[in-house]
Amino acid sequence: MYAPFPTSPLPAQRTGPGGGTGRGFAVVDVETTGLGRTDRVISAGVYQLDPDGEVTDHWYTLVNPERDPGPIWIHGLTSEVLEGAPTFPEVADEFAERLRDRVMVAHNALFDWNMISREFSRAGLRAPVEQRLCTMVLARDLRLPLPNGKLSSLAAHFGVSQRQAHHALDDARVLAEVFRPSLALARNGGVPLPLTTCVAVTDLGESAPAGPSRGSWSSSYRPARKRPACPYPNPGRWVDGSPLMQGMRVAITGDTATDRELLEDRMIEAGLHIASSVSRLTSLLVTNEPTSWSGKARKAREYGTPVVGEDAFLQLLREVAPHPGA
């Protein structure tokens, strides 16, 4: 079993007051059995930071997923190592206290949030996280000269050494060490922190077919799925009070309680076009946070694109009108 790493010293520079919410930040990394919505958390590391980005505590736990641990050649956690570990419900309360009243910080944060949120939902709980911050997005907003979005590239930029990649606590340590100078750059440069409101995941994937999860373990990022082209031309914008129509270009941004892939599957089955961005041709934007900082939400406000929430969109998906040329 891995021994927890001690808290590593961070550079002496302080970032000044403010910039966080509540008690500060919780820098998180989880290792999982895979990338799909049926996969499980098998270890978690959390570094607690005060609003200035100073480390105040750290925590690590193994989690017994009570199933095959997945790619042990990546995370090194075998069934034998995990056999005596606590299950997620047994660590949920302590994990929650590490997150409570803090902004959750993670690299590719949507993935970590979805995994953590599902585990809390399976335990009959809600993860006590209101906002998260993705360091990939922050690095982009800071215009850091990185060759790619990997944590190793961000670590190399700030001179932070990785001791054991894909160990949850060491990845969280590395992220904590690169987050503080990133936080300082954002404050000093007047760059808003890309905070995202967290929506609890309710789709636990329990009805998903068994089998290997989608994705590749060559990186920690969820690869894009190749979708079939929509066979219908765009009939124009959606009008409030009318049904969706086949061929309409629909974009989604922000958190959704329903798994994004499941939503996209249903859109394709209904004959809708999945739009990866918002333009003047976009028929509809689906978001639970219409005033967010995201590029899609900003473009929708600029173009006057109709916007609906997830619940309303699910209702609209029930009856999509045939394309007039069909």
**Cβ atoms of residues 234 and 273 within 8 Å:** yes
Return the closest-CA partner of residue 201 out of 39, 19, 24, 9.
39
CA 258 vs CA 43, 58, 205, 316: distances in Å: 24, 32, 10, 15
Written as one letter, the residue type at 174 is V
**Interacting residues of 204 by C-beta distance below 8 A, sequence separation 6+:** 37, 38, 118, 121, 122
DSSP-derived secondary structure for 248-273: -EEEE-S--SS-HHHHHHHHHHHT-E
Q: In terms of DSSP H, where are the helices of the chain?
A: 72-75, 79-82, 88-99, 109-122, 135-141, 151-157, 168-189, 260-270, 295-303, 310-317
User: Which structure tokens are listed for 232?
Assistant: 């219908």
- Separation of alpha carbons 298 and 285, rounded Å: 11
| Rg, Å, the chain Cα set | 21
Q: Taking CA 212 as the corner, what is the angle to CA 208 and CA 217, rounded to the nearest 5 degrees?
A: 125
Q: Look at the block and give the residue holding tokens 């075998």.
A: 78
Q: Report, as residue numbers or ranges, the catalytic residues.
A: 166
